[in-house]
Amino acid sequence: MATVLAIETSCDETAVAIVNNRQVCSSIVASQIPVHQQYGGVVPEVASRQHLETINQAIAQALEQAKLDWEKIDGIAATCAPGLVGALLVGLTAAKTLAIIHNKPFLGVHHLEGHIYATYLSEPTIKPPFLSLLVSGGHTSLIYVKDCGRYETLGQTRDDAAGEAFDKVARLLKLGYPGGPMIDKLAQSGNPQAFVLPEGKVSLPGGGYHRYDSSFSGLKTAVQRLVQQFEKNGEQVPVADIAASFQETVARSLTKRAIACALDYDLKIIAVGGGVAANSGLRKHLQATACERNLRVLFPPMKYCTDNAAMIGCTASEHLALGHISPLTLSVQSRLSL
């Protein structure tokens, strides 16, 4: 049973958690959202500085909340890739330093692996093989999880990530940053059938469409045209109906691809991860369709959908149990496939 102190600083959350396998002993997430809100998106340089100012306090809080001291910690982990280089460096350097001072094993964790295993935090028994639908601000992928550390990407987006599409459409609707939660909230009062929007199919060279890949840039452009049309006619933009129709289209598109993939590969479980896993439309659609097809869908607890360190700690526990550790020379990488 490994108790891991984990750090996540890949983007705009300074997060520290202590996790004992799948059990969260403490989880601190210091969000920078209010700081970046004034710029309409994440400013990398500002993010790094914020992490630097917050990290020591977040580590102290995580230990205090868990009522643990260093003797009880078996390993120290941090996200090493992908993400903003300056932001990642703060967390990784802190983790390495702590590992040296307290003489503990150190492990660098891939951010997407963290999102894949976030469902473990509420599921004590699930294990591979399963299909991961990873939908975050930077990624939209269908990943065949064969075992811890053995992954095959079966589908991905050809342009924008699902979360990115939510953020861009929210900007078009003047809803602010981050867009996903704002659209989700607004969609509750809109009509999802108000507008028919393009699903964004990816053509195959020989004809037909890719079953697992998605595309969201055409959908975003369609929303843009719709907004422009209302503005040109001097009419009020029906933001709630557009938000609901957009969300419905994304939810249907992701559901269709995930179900097709799970059935084709005979995988009985779909584990969703990433910020868009918090979306109510996606949860509803995927759950209902999976139920019809006798598949099980697992979503992480809401607070572990968006970036957090508990998912990094849980992933590190899995790896440490297999004897995996990283050298202290490990560096950060802005891009790294699984």
138 annotated as a binding-site residue: yes
Q: Give the pairing type, strands 296-298 and 13-20.
A: unpaired
Residue 130 contacts ligand KG4 per CB under 6 A: no
In three-state secondary structure terms, 161 is coil
CB of 166 to ligand KG4, least distance (A): 4
Sign of the dihedral defined by the CA atoms of residues 296, 301, 307, 311, in that order: negative
Looking at residues 165 to 184 of the shown chain, list those that interact with ligand KG4 (rule: CB under 6 A): 166-167, 178-181, 184
Residue 307 contacts Zn ion per CB under 5 A: yes
Yes or no: say if 148 and 126 are a contact pair by the CB < 8 Å rule: no
Q: In terms of C-beta density within 10 A (0-12 exposed, 13-18 middle, 19 or more buried), how is residue 193 classed?
A: exposed
CB of 240 to ligand KG4, least distance (A): 15
Stretch that binds Zn ion, among 31-39, 70-78, 302-310, 329-337 (CB under 5 A): 302-310
CB nearer to ligand KG4: give 98 or 113. 113
Stretch that binds Zn ion, among 14-22, 86-94, 307-315, 320-328 (CB under 5 A): 307-315
Residue 213 contacts ligand KG4 per CB under 6 A: no
Q: What are phi and psi of 79, to 5 degrees?
A: -65, 130
d(CA 208, CA 273): 29
d(CA 105, CA 27): 20
What order of strands is seen across the sheet that includes strand 140-147?
Answer: 150-156, 140-147, 130-135, 269-273, 296-298
**Length of the chain (residues):** 338
Residue 91 contacts ligand KG4 per CB under 6 A: no
What residues are designated binding site for substrate?
134-138, 167, 180, 184, 279
What residues make contact with ligand KG4 under the rule CB under 6 A?
Answer: 11, 136-138, 163-164, 166-167, 178-181, 184, 274-276, 278-279, 306-307
What residues make contact with Zn ion under the rule CB under 5 A?
Answer: 136, 307
What residues are designated binding site?
111, 115, 134-138, 167, 180, 184, 279, 307
